[in-house]
Structure 1
């Protein structure tokens, strides 16, 4: 009897423990959008002319029995395209395929993008490449006359995949679903929103942004740009488990489109971090069909001096274009600003949807050094699990912030320091370093460290600030006289580098603990 009672007691205890592990996170099971995130989902939009969007259900992941997981975006006429991709050495098959298509077609003659969610088609060998090609050609057959799509033709449809790494695509299900996505194509807001939903994995809400704009040379013409992205975990430069599609009806020169996209990526998707992991599948594509441009409009282009040279790494996502000092025409400059704005908006939505995140954190590093150095320090703070858990716990443990500044590569690697007059200049000097919390409500900042000296922190005020959903951490590396008095120091001006991140909660572990199974 005692043994039976013990057995039952043990079984009850095990069931209780199992129940405690049940995920409280709403995606991807029931796909309910949390109330706090519904404000980020647009109810309308102005979409670029000549682009259509459609989605369908394939059941790529066995547990998905009803939600669309195939997405298709199509240009009604051939368009120019560009892509930036992950720097992870284990590049997924769709990354390799799309990069190859862009290179072989020289960024011209594309008709769209096809995406599946639920399986990353990464680390799947030669079969993975065949499956990526099969997806592209299935879309091509829907868009063009099937007879014109041969095995030897270069696909006109870029391909993306997202989901679990190391598993093979159920390719037959996908190629059967692509024609249904094509049949569902439309230009309405609902069409675009459905596509934004179809590319989601652990996202809790679809991320879709639109904008209209004009160009200085013909201000009477209205152009449109639309962007969607997915990503909530494995987010870090050089990007993470992040897909993005941006379409515009402006006319862009094929020789310039890659550099234009890479420049905007550096200001947006390469300025965010959720968990410090760079995935195998990152892809952001920009497509431009010129449908809204007047016939005599000049294609947006960059000066030859700003374009990558023959040996440049076009697969990377950090631009090596020399924008500064080059004269860029007003139209291209205006478009660059629009593209950077819409991609930054999308990048911020990724951070707001960080897996298990409760806070949106802006890290601003002010320095009289280079922006690249300041950004490295901002990223060091953003990656710190100790900083992120303290923010979740509403603990003003500023020592963790200072620690992350002190071990940043830019701070400790002598070869990365700047040089003035042939003498090394320290990028981080404790006596010139100050750290503050900047409240989202516009109230007075809370100083934590001033020129290397700790402040008597008002813990009640600190908790009030950390209770807010949005928070800014301001790091001043230029707060005080320079350590090396040179003529060049007098001319140095402070610049800001901004990185966006989120906190770490218990849910992050729960989500990623059972992501595959």
Structure 2
């Protein structure tokens, strides 16, 4: 597998994409995107665990059930189309129908996504003309413009493309994502759209995506809020020409490894871009009794606002890490725990066998002052591990979210 620099969605055979300004955002920034497979494709998706699900998610869940072919995704930023009742469902359906009419598809072959302010009706007077204009321009569009169109409070575009050889055919997986705030394990205010030219069955693609999401997007936390609009969608159009991947064989292993890599890299970019964040924090947890214990403990650390605040201040307050482990619900023996901090500035151990040990405050601060810090936790209680990602919690987080609607 190799990372393809400066490549994006439209570099994957059979895919077109575009992002435009339709008028949803008053700022003039791009706010509407289309992703389109010129060939029939299968799709899989994962959605928020929030009981309050935005209209687009409800439409998508139905469309994925009734259609074996999914060729397009329409997405807007600036309005979440959430908590908008029957009108919101009608608007989401109108968006899929407008794309379908423009591209010669059935509305059930189109998926829809929205992100932005909750509870405000969609401005369909600009959305519908915007969709029509975007569809007309698809052939000249770029994946980069689509990545811009899905951004809200994001400070940078999140995109990655990789290539893996299957049956001596180059198979590409390319993804874009947005996410900055309302990010919490079990997905968050985040959208991720992936395309691949792999020839893979819909059932196996769905199973693979579910497993991949569990170890990537479900292992990040910015602020503890799980949104109404979160989703991950992947389209696979089979244009690579490889033998159909429909069982867990060697070809499947190659595809899954590449998909996992793409999703984890996008998840880390989302965590790094947490609203007001100054640092990316990675939890590497080792030797838990079970896989569930490993994930629960790692998530608990990365979700702790006290841990996040300490890291913003470069305070080596390891007690907060032990505390978050203690209330995690994970099964472990406190008297066995080791805790270390590490990055390019070095490695320092702060806890051994559940108790603090002498360490250099100066060295600890030098490590914590960096933009990336790895918290290493060894439970010494089994053979299972987990990785989670998040960020520090800064003053700017309050500033951004205190005036989000204005």
TMscore range, shorter length: over 0.9
Cα distance in 2 between the residues matched to 1:211 and 1:291: 16
Shift of 1:383: 1.0
Cα distance in 2 between the residues matched to 1:257 and 1:439: 35
Cα distance in 1 between the residues matched to 2:267 and 2:344: 19
Aligned to 2:215: 267
Aligned to 2:63: 101
Alignment of 1:292-371 (within 5 A): 292-293=240-241, 297-302=242-247, 328-371=248-291
Report whether the alignment pairs 1:209 with 2:160. yes
Aligned to 1:429: 333
Q: Work out whether residues 159 and 177 of structure 2, in 8 Å CA contact, stay in contact via their aligned partners in 1.
A: yes
Give 3-state SS (helix, strand or coil) of 1:103's partner. helix
Q: Aligned residue pairs: how many?
A: 402
Report whether the alignment pairs 1:454 with 2:374. no
Shift of 1:223: 1.8
Q: Work out whether residues 20 and 145 of structure 2, in 8 Å CA contact, stay in contact via their aligned partners in 1.
A: no
Q: TM-score, normalised by structure 2?
A: 0.96
Aligned to 1:200: 151
Shift of 1:43: 4.0
Report whether the alignment pairs 1:402 with 2:327. no
Shift of 1:368: 3.8
Q: TM-score, normalised by structure 1?
A: 0.76
Cα distance in 1 between the residues matched to 2:187 and 2:97: 27
Q: Work out whether residues 47 and 187 of structure 1, in 8 Å CA contact, stay in contact via their aligned partners in 2.
A: no
Give 3-state SS (helix, strand or coil) of 1:431's partner. helix
Cα distance in 2 between the residues matched to 1:56 and 1:245: 17
Q: Work out whether residues 55 and 182 of structure 1, in 8 Å CA contact, stay in contact via their aligned partners in 2.
A: no
Report whether the alignment pairs 1:48 with 2:48. no
- Higher alpha-carbon deviation: 362-371 or 223-232: 362-371
State which of 56, 68, 73 in structure 2 corresponds to 1:113.
73
Alignment deviations for residues 91-143 of structure 1 (CA, whole Å, 9 cap, x no partner): 000000011100111xx221110001000000110111100000001111111
Q: Work out whether residues 358 and 502 of structure 1, in 8 Å CA contact, stay in contact via their aligned partners in 2.
A: yes
Cα distance in 2 between the residues matched to 1:474 and 1:393: 19
Relative to total residues, which structure has the larger strand share, 1 or 2? 2
Cα distance in 2 between the residues matched to 1:290 and 1:267: 25
Aligned to 1:19: none
**Please, what is the CA RMSD of the aligned residues?**
1.6
Alignment of 1:44-443 (within 5 A): 44-45=7-8, 47-61=11-25, 63-64=26-27, 66-105=28-67, 108-144=68-104, 154-186=107-139, 191-215=142-166, 218-219=167-168, 221-293=169-241, 297-302=242-247, 328-410=248-330, 427-441=331-345, 443=346
Q: Work out whether residues 55 and 180 of structure 1, in 8 Å CA contact, stay in contact via their aligned partners in 2.
A: no
Quick check: which has more Rg, 1 or 2?
A: 1
Q: Work out whether residues 222 and 303 of structure 2, in 8 Å CA contact, stay in contact via their aligned partners in 1.
A: yes
Structure 2 residue ranges without an equivalent (≥5): none
Alignment deviations for residues 22-44 of structure 1 (CA, whole Å, 9 cap, x no partner): xxxxxxxxxxxxxxxxxxxx644
Alignment deviations for residues 262-302 of structure 1 (CA, whole Å, 9 cap, x no partner): 11111211111111111000111010001121xxx432123
Cα distance in 2 between the residues matched to 1:142 and 1:55: 16
Cα distance in 2 between the residues matched to 1:174 and 1:154: 16
Shift of 1:187: 6.9
Shift of 1:68: 1.5
